[in-house]
Amino acid sequence: MVRAMARRLVERALRKAGCSKRKPDTGPHTTWLCPCGSHTADIPRHKDISPGVVRDTVDRMKCLPEGWLQ
């Protein structure tokens, strides 16, 4: 079961996995690119990220190793 997470923890895990932010960074979401460059995930700029968005981010970043978001 996926739980809600703080945005800073999700972004820290993405950075540690080698992902980077897509430029320009405008609007209510931040778009992250995976290391291979073929997968993206949109993270809202809220303090807490809902379980559905966390689950969607894990599903979208298929090239990252299992358990990258702990």
* The pTM of the whole model exceeds 0.85: yes
Provide the pLDDT for residue 12: 95
Residue (of 4, 1, 3, 15) closest to 68 by Cα position: 15
Provide the pLDDT for residue 23: 85
Provide the pLDDT for residue 26: 79
Is 2:55 a contact under the CB 8 Å cutoff? yes
pLDDT in tens, 7-63: 999 999 999 999 999 888 778 999 999 999 899 999 999 999 999 999 999 999 989
Question: Could you tell me which residues come within 8 angstroms of residue 10 by beta carbon, excluding any fewer than 6 positions away?
Answer: 43, 49, 54, 57, 69
